[in-house]
Amino acid sequence: MRINLFNPCFNGNIGVILQAYIIRRLIFLIFVLFGVSILIFGILSTFSPERRAAAFVTTPQQAKNIPELIERYGFNDPVYLQYIRWVKEISSGNMGWSIVAARPVFDAFWHYFPITLELNLFATPIFIILGIWLGTQAGIKKDSAFDHITRIVAIIGWSLPTFLFALILLMVFYGYFNLFSPEILSHDLVTFIRNNPDSYTAYTGMYTIDGILNGRFDITLDALKHLVLPVATQVIVVVALVMRVMRSNMIEETSKDYVITAKAKGADKKTIYIKHARRNALIPVITIAGEMAAFAMEGSIAVEIVFNRQGLGWWLAESAIQLDIPVVMCMCLFMGAVFVVTNLVIDLLYAYIDPRIRLS
């Protein structure tokens, strides 16, 4: 059965079809995570039992009793028993101990995750909307001054390393104008929050949202101010790719027969370009934008380090340097889940944009 989200004839069946499709993809998520877990466990198995046992050390006393930890977690048992035990521990939230965070990995993840999520909640919609709009206009106005300028900006934005662009913005705005200091929140507000736990509740861990929920709009505004440069860096680098893909597809679509015929019949150009050509050009753009949004959830290491935002990217970089293996393992599992969910959303958007696509 072909799904047409714009045809009222399918209103009675579309919910059932989408529900079945989502269930299939969620089952697929289980198999993907299983494959990722096999890969991660295989890599972990290359380390010595002593090194793997050290990942579960939480106190100085335990560090002196590594053989006891090896025995407790069965690191000398057959591989299949180790894997079963490892999956059981992971399922219960025991992912080991993070050396960098000095706390259990599971707790550390939920400490750093809101910081990365907050950045992406602002950056992702901007680079998707801006990239599609710029690409559409550049494609429609091919070889115009607007097209040439946006192409030059896109080439520069995509060519510059993220860390270099971040440093340039930091040097200009903070170094010369003393604006947008590289931190998550002003020091005075951080001190207030720490010293007055009864007056401020961290509902989400994101200052922009928690400030509103606590009625402290000064905290929200300050957090937004410190998001300007990180969001700008993330947006300018990614929007260049989205815009270039959108422009190429718009040029291709506007040269097709149906557009030429519609123009010859005197159809409104805005309707031709925006309603028809852009809709068909969006399919590959959605893939690119979705994958970039998924990558961003891992945390932009360069952005978070340069602007002193200790999120998932910062945590992952520090953990890799210190061979904090449980953290790397946690991030691999997390990204596996993010990409499967992202692909599910992309497939559903395909069906919405192009009703000819089958959800099968």
Task: Identify which has the larger pLDDT, 354 or 290.
Answer: 290
In this prediction the pTM is 0.81
Identify the three-state secondary structure at position 177. Answer: coil
In this structure, is the dihedral angle defined by the CA atoms of residues 36, 41, 44 and 50, taken in order, positive or negative? Answer: positive
The answer to whether position 39 is within a domain reads no
The answer to whether position 54 is within a domain reads no
- Mean pLDDT on 96-119: 89
If you average pLDDT over every residue of the chain, what do you get? 82
216-229 pLDDT tens trace: 899 999 999 999 99
The answer to whether position 339 is within a domain reads no
Q: Of the ranges 43-47, 186-190, 202-206, which one carries the lowest mean pLDDT score?
A: 43-47
pLDDT over threshold 60, residue 3: no
With cut-offs at 50, 70 and 90, classify the pLDDT of residue 115.
Answer: very high
**How many structural domains comprise the chain?**
1
For residue 146, the surrounding DSSP H or E stretch is helix 145-159
d(Cα 50, Cα 67) in Å, to the nearest integer? 8
**CB distance 116 to 311 below 8 Å:** yes
178: left (phi over 0), alpha (psi -120 to 50) or beta: left
pLDDT over threshold 80, residue 35: yes
pLDDT of residue 58: 66
Instruction: Name beta bridge partners: 104.
Output: 97
- Mean pLDDT on 98-112: 88
pLDDT over threshold 70, residue 165: yes
What CATH code is carried by the domain that includes residue 181?
A: 1.10.3720
268-294 pLDDT tens trace: 777 888 777 888 888 888 888 888 888
d(Cα 18, Cα 283) in Å, to the nearest integer? 19
| Helices 312-321 and 325-353, packing angle to 10 deg | 140
Phi/psi at 20 (5° precision): -65, -40
pLDDT of residue 228: 93
With cut-offs at 50, 70 and 90, classify the pLDDT of residue 9.
Answer: very low
Phi/psi at 310 (5° precision): -85, 80
Structure tokens at 14: 């579309």
The answer to whether position 180 is within a domain reads yes
Structure tokens at 354: 């192009």
The answer to whether position 75 is within a domain reads no
Structure tokens at 56: 């579960």
pLDDT over threshold 50, residue 7: no
- Mean pLDDT on 355-359: 61
The answer to whether position 63 is within a domain reads no
- Mean pLDDT on 1-26: 59
Return the number of other C-beta atoms located less than 10 Å from residue 25's C-beta: 18
pLDDT of residue 356: 63
With cut-offs at 50, 70 and 90, classify the pLDDT of residue 10.
Answer: very low
With cut-offs at 50, 70 and 90, classify the pLDDT of residue 163.
Answer: confident
Q: Of the ranges 3-12, 52-61, 113-122, which one carries the lowest mean pLDDT score?
A: 3-12
pLDDT of residue 143: 85
The answer to whether position 10 is within a domain reads no
Q: Of the ranges 47-56, 140-149, 203-212, which one carries the lowest mean pLDDT score?
A: 47-56
What residue numbers bound the domain in which 265 lies? Answer: 105-323
With cut-offs at 50, 70 and 90, classify the pLDDT of residue 358.
Answer: low
Q: What percentage of the chain has pLDDT greater than the value 70?
A: 91
- Strand pairing report for 103-104 and 97-98: antiparallel
- What's the angle, vertex CA 232, arms to CA 137 and CA 321, rounded to 5? 130
The answer to whether position 165 is within a domain reads yes
Query: Cβ contacts of residue 220 below 8 Å, gap of 6+?
Result: 207, 208, 209, 211, 212
Structure tokens at 88: 């059981």
d(Cα 134, Cα 150) in Å, to the nearest integer? 7
Nearest to 276 by CA among 262, 287, 290: 262
With cut-offs at 50, 70 and 90, classify the pLDDT of residue 257.
Answer: confident
pLDDT over threshold 70, residue 87: yes
Q: Is 198 exposed, middle or buried (0-12, 13-18, 19+ CB in 10 A)?
A: exposed
Nearest to 127 by CA among 292, 329, 249: 292
